[in-house]
Amino acid sequence: MKILIIGGAGMVGQKLASQIATSGLSNGLSSSPVSELILHDVVESAVPAAPFPVKTLVGNIADPRQATELAALRADLIFHLAAIVSGEAEQDFAKGWDINARGTWWLLEALRDEYEASGRSYVPRLVFTSSIAVFGGPFPDRIDDEFLTAPQTSYGAQKAMTELLINDYSRKGFIDGISIRLPTICVRPGKPNLAASSFFSSIIREPLNGREAILPVSDSVRHWHASPRSAIGFLIHAAQLDTALLGSRRALNMPGVSCTVAEQIEALRQVAGADAVALIRREPDAAIMKIVENWPRNFAPQRALDLGFTAETGFEEIIRIYIADDKPGR
Amino acid sequence: MKILIIGGAGMVGQKLASQIATSGLSNGLSSSPVSELILHDVVESAVPAAPFPVKTLVGNIADPRQATELAALRADLIFHLAAIVSGEAEQDFAKGWDINARGTWWLLEALRDEYEASGRSYVPRLVFTSSIAVFGGPFPDRIDDEFLTAPQTSYGAQKAMTELLINDYSRKGFIDGISIRLPTICVRPGKPNLAASSFFSSIIREPLNGREAILPVSDSVRHWHASPRSAIGFLIHAAQLDTALLGSRRALNMPGVSCTVAEQIEALRQVAGADAVALIRREPDAAIMKIVENWPRNFAPQRALDLGFTAETGFEEIIRIYIADDKPGR
């Protein structure tokens, strides 16, 4: 099986590549042999040691020629993770729509061309990382699998649009697609990024590493989280899922942990004590508060659970996964 | 006020143009003075007699140069009705996405350019005819305003995608858009068309005109209808609505009449007697039955009702409107 990861240099792409290099596509239930892994991104991707060839490609999917080149690889399995984050898509309207929506459309069109050129035999599995940003308030207490997608950011609209395209190209048989709506991935390793959600990770990661963190919203803000390890699990599971089970709805809300910032902080106290908590500095930011106000807080992701997707059961577990997988000097 | 109708030669476009020519933009509550009306379509539009200039333009919105030309008109109000119908969009995948989705995106981009070129002062009202085809089963008994859009046709996916774009361009202030999801418009005058829904009109229109009609589905099929007169009413009302009332959700399910084919036929009997009903010939068509199976049957369109949109209260009324407005020799 030839695997292509678009967005292979990013945090999720790198973890996914390492996991595939180490364990193939095993999800604990089944496992497919991997013959080749190709990592594509706008920058050169780091290459994990693997028992099969790993190649890298550099390019921008906003360029339609990239789509043609990527489709011509005829990968059996494509993970499409490439996106600019919510904050940047909100600041640069044209860039967001170019990369997060038009770029994927080019790719789908190029895959449809390969399907036709192959005598309608080439139909890759496409796993797309969508986001809970496809939802906009007002919200019910828990968002179920039939709640409308009414995004209130360009990023969310771009993800929702891509889901529609993937659904229709799949319905027509050109690809075999699935869109998984990731919770906010927490605790992200590395540095804060331009995503407005960045602080959800910072207030845990920075204190755990002895550094101060800024909390720009109130303690009562509730949100939906899953660990990077869960994100990789979702992707691997989606790659091997029997998509006939999805019926005509190929976008799924992923499981996660719903908790308040206060509960995040309490979990940090349980894991790392009062000294760590003391490093969180409250500095309310009206702009971030306004964005976060419109974010989903809780889900009832019944379809995904029924299909075997799993995540953490509490925020302490999420912190312990960060410490085990990503904390510098672990 | 300068008004542009894209799709001005079609059935709804022509009725809308006539209504504006006769009564301006009056919706019974308010009225705006009209200075000019421009009708755009792929064919030459018929021009109604009007107390203001009426121009026609011919072109295809799948061509990006068209979008630039249309945006450069700087119409204060744009009705975007142009689309290829569901049956054709299903048969010709590329054409459907080109005209029904990409074409509108070009238009929105061109309007954003005009917005910037005008020093951010040009912000037209855009009224877009979406469709209940944005919904796909399984359905609840009545679809409410928070039910997900999971289209099961390319046409429905194209409409849903355009709604997302219009919402985001409006949120950013480039346009002031509203998407109205029309019920199946019934009784359509003229001839059957390529829409799979065509029979809903034919089984009424043809018998009323002494001609045989074919019913390809079972009598128990339930669907959601509104008259062409209601459709024009929705458009005129949407053109003048205070869009601040829409909040961040600019797509609205329109009101209509939910009835079964049996109830349609009974209404025909009430209006035109058993002789008319005898002209309906049952000829089940598996392909059409399969499409119609996935169509919405009933709605609770509370937001639209609260905002003052109105439709018929029963199918007899819909038939009487056809006889009054459209029946040849009326």
Query: In this predicted model, what pLDDT tens digit does every residue of B33-85 receive, in sequence order?
Result: 899 999 999 999 999 999 999 999 999 998 999 999 999 999 999 999 999 98
Burial (Cβ within 10 Å: 0-12, 13-18, ≥19) of residue A287: exposed
Q: Which residues of A touch B151 (CB under 8 A)?
A: 164, 167-168
**Within-domain flag for A325:** no
**Within-domain flag for A102:** yes
- CATH code at position B96: 3.40.50.720
pLDDT at B329 over 90: no
A275 C-beta neighbours (distance < 10 Å), count: 10
Supply A329's token pair: 């000097």
Report which of B260, B219, B234, B319 is spatially closest to residue B12, judged by C-alpha positions.
Answer: B234
Contact A163, A130 (CB under 8 A): yes
At A30-42, the pLDDT tens digits run: 667 899 999 999 9
Supply B321's token pair: 């409107």
Catalytic residue flag (residue A122):
no
Q: Are residues B68 and B105 in the same domain?
A: yes
At A289-299, the pLDDT tens digits run: 988 888 899 99
**Within-domain flag for A267:** no
Contact B240, B30 (CB under 8 A): yes
Segment B201-230 mean pLDDT: 96
Q: Which residues of A touch B149 (CB under 8 A)?
A: 148-149, 164
Determine the Cα–Cα distance for residues A319 and A1; give it in Å rounded to an integer.
34
Tell me the residue type at B3.
I
Supply A215's token pair: 């909390």
φ and ψ at residue B143, rounded to 5 degrees:
-80, 120
Q: Which residues of B touch A145 (CB under 8 A)?
A: 148
What is the percentage of chain A residues whose pLDDT exceeds 90? 89
Q: Nearest by CB to B148, from A137, A149, A168: name it.
A: A149
Determine the Cα–Cα distance for residues B62 and B60; give it in Å rounded to an integer.
5
With H, G, I as helix, E, B as strand and everything else as coil, classify residue B104.
helix
Mean pLDDT, rounded, of chain B: 95
Q: Nearest by CB to B157, from A146, A151, A168: name it.
A: A168
Q: Strand runs (DSSP E) across A194-293, as ranges?
A: 213-215, 222-226, 251-253, 257-260, 280-282
What is the number of domains present in chain A? 1
Report which of B223, B148, B144 is spatially closest to residue A249, judged by C-alpha positions.
Answer: B148
Which pLDDT belongs to residue B290? 84
Report which of A180, A136, A144 is spatially closest to residue A301, judged by C-alpha positions.
Answer: A144
Given CB atoms, is B116 within the 8 Å cutoff of chain A? no
Q: Could you give the C-alpha distances from B253 to A21, A116, A121, B149, B305, in angstroms and in order?
A: 49, 37, 40, 11, 9
Rg (CA), chain B: 19
Q: Which residues of B touch A98 (CB under 8 A)?
A: none
- CATH code at position B289: 3.90.25.10
Q: Are residues B116 and B20 in the same domain?
A: yes
Report which of B82, B83, B72 is spatially closest to residue B2, judged by C-alpha positions.
Answer: B72
At B279-303, the pLDDT tens digits run: 999 999 998 898 888 889 999 999 9
pLDDT at B28 over 90: no
Give B51 to chain A, closest Cα distance, Å.
41
What is the percentage of chain A residues whose pLDDT exceeds 70? 98
The residue in chain A having the minimum alpha-carbon distance to the alpha carbon of residue B162 is: A161
Length of chain B: 330
Q: Are residues B128 and B167 in the same domain?
A: yes
φ and ψ at residue B60, rounded to 5 degrees:
-115, 125
φ/ψ region of B120 (left if φ > 0, alpha if ψ in -120 to 50, else beta) reads: left
Mean pLDDT, rounded, of chain A: 95
Going by pLDDT thresholds of 50, 70 and 90, the confidence category of residue A287 is confident
Determine the Cα–Cα distance for residues A238 and B243; give it in Å rounded to an integer.
40
Which entry of A115, A155, A169, A322 is annotated as an active-site residue?
A: A155
Determine the Cα–Cα distance for residues A225 and A214; give it in Å rounded to an integer.
19
Which pLDDT belongs to residue B203? 97
φ and ψ at residue A314, rounded to 5 degrees:
-160, 165
Q: Are residues B274 and B319 in the same domain?
A: yes
Could you tell me which residues come within 8 angstroms of residue A21 by beta carbon, excluding any fewer than 6 positions away? A37, A48, A49, A50, A51, A54
Q: Are residues B99 and B9 in the same domain?
A: yes
CB contact under 8 A, B154 and A161: no
Q: Are residues B167 and B87 in the same domain?
A: yes
**Within-domain flag for B245:** yes
Determine the Cα–Cα distance for residues B255 and B234; give it in Å rounded to an integer.
9
Give A299 to chain B, closest Cα distance, Å.
15
Q: Which residues of B touch A93 (CB under 8 A)?
A: 172
Q: Nearest by CB to A148, from B93, B137, B149: name it.
A: B149
CB contact under 8 A, A164 and B164: yes
What is the percentage of chain B residues whose pLDDT exceeds 70? 98
The residue in chain A having the minimum alpha-carbon distance to the alpha carbon of residue B145 is: A148
Burial (Cβ within 10 Å: 0-12, 13-18, ≥19) of residue A245: exposed
The residue assigned the tokens 């899922």 is: A241
Determine the Cα–Cα distance for residues B46 and B48; give it in Å rounded to an integer.
7
Active-site residues of B, by number, are 155
Q: Are residues B246 and B292 in the same domain?
A: no
CB contact under 8 A, B147 and A152: no
CB contact under 8 A, B157 and A164: yes
pTM recorded for the entire structure = 0.96
**Within-domain flag for A265:** no
Q: Domain range for residue A243? A: 2-182+227-253
Segment A198-204 mean pLDDT: 96
The residue in chain A having the minimum alpha-carbon distance to the alpha carbon of residue B150 is: A249
The residue assigned the tokens 């979990």 is: A267
Q: Which of A108, A139, A161, A294 to mutate to test the interface with B (most CBs of B within 10 A)?
A: A161
With H, G, I as helix, E, B as strand and everything else as coil, classify residue A81.
coil
Torsion of CA B249, B83, B56, B123, to 10 degrees: 20
Given CB atoms, is A171 within the 8 Å cutoff of chain B? yes
Given CB atoms, is B121 within the 8 Å cutoff of chain A? no
Given CB atoms, is A161 within the 8 Å cutoff of chain B? yes
Contact B124, B77 (CB under 8 A): yes
Q: Are residues B111 and B245 in the same domain?
A: yes
Q: Are residues B320 and B242 in the same domain?
A: no
pLDDT at A28 over 80: no
Pairing outcome for strands A184-185 and A176-182: unpaired
Given CB atoms, is B168 within the 8 Å cutoff of chain A? yes
Q: Are residues B263 and B166 in the same domain?
A: no
**C-alpha of A182 from chain center:** 5
DSSP structural state of residue B131: E
Q: Which residues of A touch B145 (CB under 8 A)?
A: 148
Q: Which residues of B touch A113 (CB under 8 A)?
A: none
Give A146 to chain B, closest Cα distance, Å.
5
Q: Are residues B144 and B268 in the same domain?
A: no
CB contact under 8 A, B164 and A157: yes
Could you tell me which residues come within 8 angstroms of residue A105 by beta carbon, excluding any fewer than 6 positions away? A162, A165
**Within-domain flag for A195:** no
Given CB atoms, is A136 within the 8 Å cutoff of chain B? yes
Could you tell me which residues come within 8 angstroms of residue B252 by beta carbon, excluding any fewer than 6 positions away? B145, B178, B179, B180, B181, B246, B301, B303, B304, B307, B309
**Within-domain flag for A316:** no
CB contact under 8 A, B154 and A168: yes
**Within-domain flag for B187:** no
Determine the Cα–Cα distance for residues B214 and B202; give it in Å rounded to an integer.
8
Which pLDDT belongs to residue A291? 80
pLDDT at A195 over 80: no
Segment A135-161 mean pLDDT: 96
